[in-house]
């Protein structure tokens, strides 16, 4: 597409959106993606406070959008792990019933394409690179072409539609992750039961979606012991309900007694993160939650793209290797076979980053 045609298309879409009273954003899949979508929602609300923004999200991540001031309604799609919400068929019927003038698909997978088409919307926006690009009548150009640089963070990538349409982005705002009062009360009660004062603990989340992003459980255990000894602070290890095996591995390697919580609901996990002195984790959704909640963060980095996925909007330090094969898709280690990029990161380097964050409070990347 030539620049002139692209500009004409952008102008047409901008005018159409300016006349629309409602819009659906399809944001399926991961926790980190969901959190990093919030600046886009916030920018759209700043541009059009009268625009009713609804979000279609999978059940495990609905807490990111519930009660958010930029979201009018959160439509919840059930999953195998979280049966609450609509089936795909019910979601298609409900979306069609709402007659959205515009739908923006931020995911592009098969389910999101089907539901975008089911909307019957006259404005269907998706990236030109999506596999089913034919399903959209407005195609977003590549983000690097729109921003005219390649070193884009995911927050900026999500905001490409605003940039392309020349809509106002006065300043890219940090994600506003809203805390729910009942979850906060539940976490405070649980902390009191184990004798931990709110705001006076270190939280370590040792899990990740892929093995190439996961530092070893033994190293996390030794890190927890080290920080507990040096700072006399309790350490709480957290994980999802399907990740208890990792916490058991940590517990089996730890020399000190720590708390191990794998039964928190997502909004409770957010509340717990909000009260910690320091958050330590891999490149994962909870790490993005900690960044959104403005907590000091130390990240042990593996195979993923640091520029695109580093913590956004908080003080942080990333500890990573410099192997030439980084970044990679991360589903397996094609170069070495053993996820050397993250497994070779020494304990002392991570402990030193934690000391800097707990001591001086200065943020830096390494």
142 and 85 part of one domain: yes
Position 100 in a domain: yes
Q: Report whether 103 contacts 27 (CB < 8 A).
A: no
The span from the CA of 163 to the CA of 165, in Å, is 5
Last residue of a domain, one of 108, 139, 164: 164
Number of domains the chain contains: 2
143 and 243 part of one domain: no
- Show the domain range for 34: 3-164
Predicted pLDDT of residue 364: 37
Instruction: Give 212's strand partners.
Output: none
Position 73 in a domain: yes
pLDDT in tens, the chain (366 residues): 445 445 568 899 999 999 999 999 999 989 999 999 999 999 999 999 999 999 999 999 999 999 999 999 999 999 988 888 999 999 999 999 999 999 999 998 999 999 999 999 999 999 999 989 999 999 999 999 999 999 999 999 999 999 999 998 877 889 999 999 999 999 999 999 999 999 999 999 999 999 999 999 999 999 999 999 999 999 999 999 999 999 999 999 999 999 999 999 999 999 999 999 999 999 999 999 999 999 999 999 999 999 999 999 999 999 999 899 999 988 888 888 888 999 999 999 999 999 999 985 433 333
Last residue of a domain, one of 130, 164, 198: 164
Domain holding 213: CATH number? 3.40.50.2000
Structure tokens at 294: 């403005």
49 and 21 part of one domain: yes
Predicted pLDDT of residue 308: 96
Last residue of a domain, one of 105, 137, 164: 164
Distances in whole angstroms, Cα of residue 132 to Cα of each of 110, 111, 116, 279:
8, 11, 11, 39
Predicted pLDDT of residue 338: 84
Predicted pLDDT of residue 220: 98
66 and 159 part of one domain: yes
185 and 289 part of one domain: yes
Q: What is the pLDDT of residues 52-97, one digit of tens each?
A: 999 999 999 999 999 999 999 999 999 988 888 999 999 999 999 9
156 and 37 part of one domain: yes
Position 176 in a domain: no
Position 354 in a domain: yes
Position 169 in a domain: no
Q: Report whether 318 contacts 365 (CB < 8 A).
A: yes
154 and 243 part of one domain: no
192 and 157 part of one domain: no
Q: What is the pLDDT of residues 262-297, one digit of tens each?
A: 999 999 999 999 999 999 999 999 999 999 999 999
Position 174 in a domain: no
Cis (ω within 30 of 0) for the bond into 327?
A: yes
Position 172 in a domain: no
Find the radius of gyration of the CA atoms of the chain.
Answer: 21
159 and 199 part of one domain: no
Instruction: Give 316's strand partners.
Output: 297
Predicted pLDDT of residue 88: 96
Predicted pLDDT of residue 4: 46
pTM of the shown model: 0.93
The span from the CA of 346 to the CA of 220, in Å, is 11
- Residues 6 or more apart whose CB falls under 8 angstroms from that of 245 comprise none
13 and 134 part of one domain: yes
339 and 256 part of one domain: yes
Q: H helices within the chain, ranges in order?
A: 3-19, 31-47, 88-98, 110-118, 143-147, 154-158, 160-164, 181-193, 217-231, 244-253, 266-274, 285-292, 306-309, 340-343, 347-359
Position 258 in a domain: yes
137 and 206 part of one domain: no
């Amino acid at each position: 597409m030539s620049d002139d045609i692209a500009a004409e298309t952008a102008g047409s879409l901008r005018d159409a959106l300016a006349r629309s009273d409602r819009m659906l954003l399809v944001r399926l899949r991961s926790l980190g993606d969901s959190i990093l979508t919030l600046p886009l929602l916030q920018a759209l609300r700043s541009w059009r406070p009268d625009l009713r923004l609804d979000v279609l999200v999978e059940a495990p991540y609905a807490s990111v959008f519930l009660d958010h001031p930029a979201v009018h309604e959160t439509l919840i799609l059930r999953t195998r792990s979280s049966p609450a919400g609509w089936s795909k068929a019910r979601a298609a019927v409900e979306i069609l019933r709402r007659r959205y003038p515009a739908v923006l698909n931020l995911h592009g997978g098969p389910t999101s394409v089907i539901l975008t088409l089911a909307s019957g919307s006259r404005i269907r926006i998706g990236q030109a690179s999506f596999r089913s690009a034919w399903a959209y009548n407005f195609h977003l150009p590549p983000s690097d072409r729109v921003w005219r640089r390649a070193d884009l963070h995911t927050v900026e990538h999500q905001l490409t539609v605003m940039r392309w349409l020349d809509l106002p982005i006065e300043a890219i705002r940090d994600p506003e992750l809203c805390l729910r009062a009942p979850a906060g009360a539940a976490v405070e009660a649980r902390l009191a039961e184990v004798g931990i004062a709110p705001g006076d603990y270190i939280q370590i989340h040792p899990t990740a979606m892929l093995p190439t992003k996961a530092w070893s459980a033994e190293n996390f255990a030794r890190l927890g012991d080290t920080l507990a000894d040096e700072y006399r602070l309790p350490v709480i290890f957290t994980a999802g309900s399907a990740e208890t095996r990792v916490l058991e591995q940590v517990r089996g390697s730890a020399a000190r007694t720590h708390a191990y919580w794998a039964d928190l609901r997502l909004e409770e996990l957010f509340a717990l993160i909000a009260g910690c002195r320091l958050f330590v984790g891999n490149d994962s959704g909870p790490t993005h939650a900690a960044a959104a909640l403005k907590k000091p963060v130390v990240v042990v980095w593996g195979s993923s793209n640091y520029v695109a996925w580093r913590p956004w909007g908080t003080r942080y330090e990333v500890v990573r290797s410099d192997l030439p094969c980084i970044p990679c898709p991360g589903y397996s280690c094609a170069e070495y076979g053993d996820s050397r990029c993250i497994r070779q990161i020494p304990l002392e380097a991570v402990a030193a980053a934690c000391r800097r964050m707990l001591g001086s409070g200065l943020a830096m990347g390494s």
